[in-house]
């Protein structure tokens, strides 16, 4: 296997490879760009005009998707996968990955779309570097652009594998991409209704890519992901790499559930209280009239939307950040 196929091993060791460019026997080029960043370029005769950005480790303890990307890259380096697309593999918060922690000082996935300019420290610099790497990769004109940012969640979920689709004013979502997700085992998609500061929101709104954040189960340490079944997603990513479509990836959305954001719960002060069990699962349904949270100045969040569910509840976030999202079934979704 080509040494550059061991990007994860290099990243966890903090090593820079001696050889920055290597070729497979079939002529696929692997090029090391920066720590945790590797570009794959197929021979010109096989290039189908698609650019794929696969990122993981934006939170350093989300190991299942990191291991998934490692398997894909090793398959390319062993000449077992024959790419027909350009691919950029990115491991996001490399320092946190080495420590097995979500982040060191700041959540990188709250530092994109220019937010890093308002902060200092290594993670703000890394967010800026990731933006530049993505922008350079997606700079070639007249090519199809797709970004999957792969994550796992802090807590368990009633719907284990789901996606978050960013928002851009006036831009419909892609029915083709939703059908692909359905074929890849994704059970639900949350459609955002305002701009965000996540990595996928940056590539979607600023770089014109189809971009989605994929949540793929619960975060566990390296080597402990046997219970996270990513087989269907892995087959889908292999198909994308080789210029194929996964069987079932038609315009039919199948059983895919679509949700819309009803409200965000923002923590304003240390007095914030979230009235949920510590082990509450993502997508738990909340009854109308339920007092969800309280904060200073008699601020209260009471459920008044039928069919409301909560995702990402976290009362331990810093003041000013989101402590949960209230979602409802989506209606009248505009697709192209």
| Binding site per annotation, positions for Zn(2+) | 59, 62, 151
DSSP string, 115-152: GGGG--SHHHHHHHHHHHHHHHHTTSSS-EEEEEEEEE
Residue 174 CB coordination number (10 Å): 15
The DSSP code for 298 is T
Q: Any residues with CB less than 8 A from the CB of 183 and at least 6 apart, and which?
A: 232, 236, 246, 247, 248, 249, 250, 254
For residues 162 and 186, the answer to whether their CB atoms sit within 8 Å is yes
Strands 37-41 and 86-91, by their bridges, are: antiparallel
Tell me the β-bridge partners of 322.
266
Residue ranges at the known binding site:
59, 62, 151
3-state secondary structure of 178: helix
Element holding 172 (H helix, E strand) = none
Residue 175 CB coordination number (10 Å): 16
For residues 142 and 153, the answer to whether their CB atoms sit within 8 Å is no
Active site residues: 215
Conformational region of residue 228, where left means phi above 0, alpha means psi within -120 to 50, and beta covers everything else: beta
Q: Tokens in use for 301?
A: 């969040």
Packing angle, helices 231-241 and 63-77, rounded to 10: 40
Q: What are phi and psi of 80, to 5 degrees?
A: -85, -30
């Amino acid at each position: 296997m080509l040494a550059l196929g061991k990007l994860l091993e290099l990243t966890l060791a903090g090593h820079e490879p001696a050889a920055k460019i290597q070729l497979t026997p079939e002529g696929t080029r692997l090029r090391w760009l920066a720590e945790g960043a590797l570009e794959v370029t197929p021979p010109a005769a096989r290039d189908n005009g698609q650019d794929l950005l696969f990122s993981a480790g934006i939170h350093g303890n989300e190991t299942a998707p990191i291991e998934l990307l490692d398997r894909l890259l090793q398959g390319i380096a062993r000449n077992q996968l024959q790419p027909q697309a350009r691919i950029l593999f990115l491991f996001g918060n490399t320092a946190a990955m080495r420590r097995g922690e979500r982040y060191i000082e700041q959540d990188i996935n709250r530092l994109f779309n220019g937010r890093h300019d308002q902060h200092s420290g290594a993670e703000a610099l890394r967010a800026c570097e990731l933006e530049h790497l993505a922008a350079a990769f997606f700079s070639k004109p007249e090519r199809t652009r797709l970004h999957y940012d792969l994550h796992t969640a802090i807590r368990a979920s009633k719907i284990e594998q789901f996606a978050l689709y960013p928002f851009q004013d006036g831009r419909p979502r892609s029915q083709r991409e939703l059908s692909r997700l359905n074929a890849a085992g994704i059970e639900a998609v949350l459609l955002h209704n305002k701009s965000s500061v996540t990595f996928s929101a940056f590539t979607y709104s600023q770089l014109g890519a189809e971009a989605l954040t994929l949540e793929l189960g619960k975060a566990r340490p390296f080597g402990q992901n046997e219970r996270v079944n990513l087989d269907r997603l892995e087959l889908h990513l292999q198909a994308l790499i080789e210029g194929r479509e996964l069987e079932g990836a038609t315009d039919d959305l199948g059983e895919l559930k679509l949700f819309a954001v009803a409200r965000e719960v923002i923590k304003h002060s240390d007095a914030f209280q979230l009235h949920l069990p510590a082990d509450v699962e993502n997508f738990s349904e909340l009854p109308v009239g339920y007092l969800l949270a309280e904060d200073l100045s008699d601020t209260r969040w009471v459920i008044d939307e039928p069919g409301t569910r909560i995702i990402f509840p976290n009362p331990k976030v810093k003041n000013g950040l989101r402590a949960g999202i209230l979602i409802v079934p989506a209606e009248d979704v505009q697709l192209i």
